[in-house]
């Protein structure tokens, strides 16, 4: 039977999703289900791995049934997932020994402080491309081995397996026959040497993690196994972490290609080709999704508070009924009347790295209205993104000819125009904003020949709207100088606080 579809399993932090794409890269069926967030203590976040598996299976079955797709019509499965989240399970019973420890979980911060005090910080940066943090998987695995009864003994006897969520899904899809992860997910564990593309023995030994627990690392675009869970044999042919999948889904195949996601937080990735650019500004160096033949790297920067600032306007400030309404207010005034809002609610990430910085509003005068306030908040998403663009341009030494956008707040036309204006770059918004799932399906479809090559995929990429810079260099310079001063205020506030202590 003719192959018609590729399935993307999109296992996110709050929901599991399955999307069926056709040859033109169009969504033909999509089902989503939220699952439980478990908060055992302040700062701790867990998921039930069995619930991750059952919701992901459930939505996939439903998405297939919804359009009555036959197994024979499905060319391949691609997987994309919340990154860094850690599952450890018993290879004999297939049962997890503990809940999944989610990327957001801060329980192992002390371990990272100790790692830095032990002088391992530079080593981590050099080998893994990451800034040492509890966010990544390494310290989470160590926590499970050190705190779950009997886990260490079982691990040393070779009975336990570790995986990020992709590995956990593949293991279950193949009834325990295949234990793999792809390079993009491996690059987020803080145990993977991104230059040699192998697990780093020194880091494994530092964290006390037996190598027998670890999955085999495979390219993102390659057949790694097959599943019979859907009534016939379907190859599992693509795997990538969510942000890398989104870059691929945006056709970010070449050096200099950039995508930025405006979700709750913001994530920007720039493809740097075969060059693993080491960042001096606290951007992360990570592996981009690619095929068997080559490895590609990316620089990654994140904005902690992006769409979350709009939620804050809606839920705490009660200035908006809906997030979308922010656009109306932005357009009701011609500028912010000199106001800048820096939404550093939980510190500032790259390129500032000021964890004690706090949200700051500057430039208030008697004439400032709610419209100005909303506009200044929306503009802050663009300024923060622009800070990442500036850092990436400098570090990668590459021009950014255009920026491909996705995520909830990319629907805001005012924001997109303002981004284009202050970053002096063309913005391209695709018609399919489900770029994460699309990226996973492209990886899988390429591996099995459903799509012939990247050119065919590029032809699928349709631009819904472009935005071009419209302001003068003088106006841009003035706006950016104001933002830089506002950021200084947010940082100064934190510094004063430290002095008082
Ligand atoms: P996530 O995947 O992180 O849950 P989404 O990509 O679904 O996030 O985006 C949701 C975020 O986008 C929310 O924070 C919301 O406030 C914001 N958002 C959605 N629509 C708009 C809009 N039109 N203007 C500004 N922000 C928006």
Q: What is the pLDDT of residues 41-82, one digit of tens each?
A: 888 889 999 999 999 999 999 999 999 999 999 999 999 999
**What angle, rounded to 10 degrees, do the helices at 413-423 and 370-396 form?**
50
Q: Is the CB of 225 under 6 A from ligand 1?
A: no
Average pLDDT over residues 3-17: 93
pLDDT at 501 over 70: no
- Gap between the Cα atoms of 99 and 363, Å rounded: 47
How do residues 200-212 score in pLDDT, each as one tens digit?
999 999 999 999 9
SS3 label, residue 494: helix
And the tokens for 453? 């090559």
Res. 104 pLDDT band, cuts 50 70 90: confident
Mutate to test the pocket of ligand 1, among 331, 408, 433 (most ligand atoms within 8 A of CB): 408
CB 15 within 8 A of CB 32: yes
Q: Is 388 helix (H, G, I), strand (E, B) or coil?
A: helix
Question: Over the stretch 271-295, which tens digit does the pLDDT of each residue have?
Answer: 999 989 988 888 999 999 987 678 9
Residue 384 is inside which H or E element, if any? helix 370-396
Greatest mean pLDDT among 303-307, 345-349, 417-421 lies in 417-421
- 422 CB under 6 A from ligand 1? no
Decide: 310 in ligand 1 pocket, CB within 6 A: yes
Model confidence at 305, in pLDDT bands (50, 70, 90)?
confident
Does residue 499 carry a pLDDT above 90?
A: no
Pairing label, strands 160-163, 87-90:
antiparallel
Would you say the CB of residue 359 lies under 6 angstroms from ligand 1?
A: no
**Count of other CB atoms within 10 angstroms of residue 206:** 17
Sequence-ordered alpha helix ranges (H) in 397-472: 413-423, 435-447, 454-460
């Amino acid at each position: 039977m003719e192959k018609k579809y590729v399935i993307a399993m999109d296992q996110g932090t709050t929901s599991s999703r399955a999307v069926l794409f056709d040859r033109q890269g169009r969504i033909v069926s999509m089902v989503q289900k939220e699952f439980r967030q478990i908060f055992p203590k302040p700062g701790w976040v867990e998921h039930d791995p069995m619930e991750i598996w059952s919701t992901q299976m459930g939505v996939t079955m439903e998405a297939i049934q919804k359009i009555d797709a036959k197994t024979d019509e499905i060319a391949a499965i691609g997987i994309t997932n919340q990154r860094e989240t850690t599952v450890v399970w018993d290879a004999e019973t297939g049962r997890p020994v503990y809940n999944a420890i989610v990327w957001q979980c801060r329980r192992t911060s002390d371990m990272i402080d100790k790692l830095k005090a032990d002088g391992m910080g530079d080593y981590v940066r050099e080998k893994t491309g990451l800034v040492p943090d509890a966010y990544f998987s390494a310290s989470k695995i160590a926590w499970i081995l050190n705190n779950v009864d009997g886990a260490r003994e079982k691990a040393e006897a070779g009975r336990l397996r570790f995986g990020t969520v992709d590995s956990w899904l593949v293991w279950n899809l193949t009834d325990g026959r295949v234990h793999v992860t792809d390079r993009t997910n491996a690059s987020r564990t803080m145990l993977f040497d991104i230059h040699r593309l192998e697990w780093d023995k020194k880091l494994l030994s530092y964290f006390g993690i037996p190598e027998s627990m670890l999955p085999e690392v495979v390219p993102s675009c390659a057949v790694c196994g097959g599943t019979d869970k859907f009534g016939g044999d379907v190859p599992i042919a693509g795997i990538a972490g969510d942000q890398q999948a989104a870059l691929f889904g945006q056709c970010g195949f070449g050096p200099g290609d950039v995508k930025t996601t405006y979700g709750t937080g913001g994530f920007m990735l720039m493809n740097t080709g075969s060059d693993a650019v080491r960042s001096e500004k606290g951007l992360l160096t990570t592996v981009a999704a690619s095929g068997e033949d080559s490895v590609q790297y990316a620089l990654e920067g994140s904005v902690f508070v992006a769409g979350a600032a709009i939620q804050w306007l809606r839920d705490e400030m009660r200035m908006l009924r809906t997030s979308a309404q922010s656009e109306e207010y932005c357009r009701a005034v011609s500028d912010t009347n000199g106001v800048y809002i820096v939404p550093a609610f939980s510190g500032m990430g790259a390129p500032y790295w000021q964890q004690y910085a706090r949200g700051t509003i500057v430039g208030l005068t008697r004439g400032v209205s709610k419209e100005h306030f909303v506009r200044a908040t929306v503009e802050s998403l663009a300024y923060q993104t622009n800070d990442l663009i500036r850092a990436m341009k400098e570090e990668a030494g590459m021009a950014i000819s255009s920026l491909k956008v996705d995520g909830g707040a990319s629907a805001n036309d005012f924001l997109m125009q303002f981004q284009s204006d202050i970053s002096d770059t063309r913005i391209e918004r695709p018609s399919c904003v489900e770029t994460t799932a699309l990226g996973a399906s492209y990886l899988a479809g390429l591996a099995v020949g459903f799509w012939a090559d990247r050119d065919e995929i590029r032809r699928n990429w349709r631009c819904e709207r472009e935005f071009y810079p419209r302001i003068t260099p003088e106006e841009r310079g003035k706006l950016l100088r104001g933002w830089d001063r506002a950021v200084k205020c947010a940082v100064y506030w934190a510094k004063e606080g430290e002095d008082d202590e």
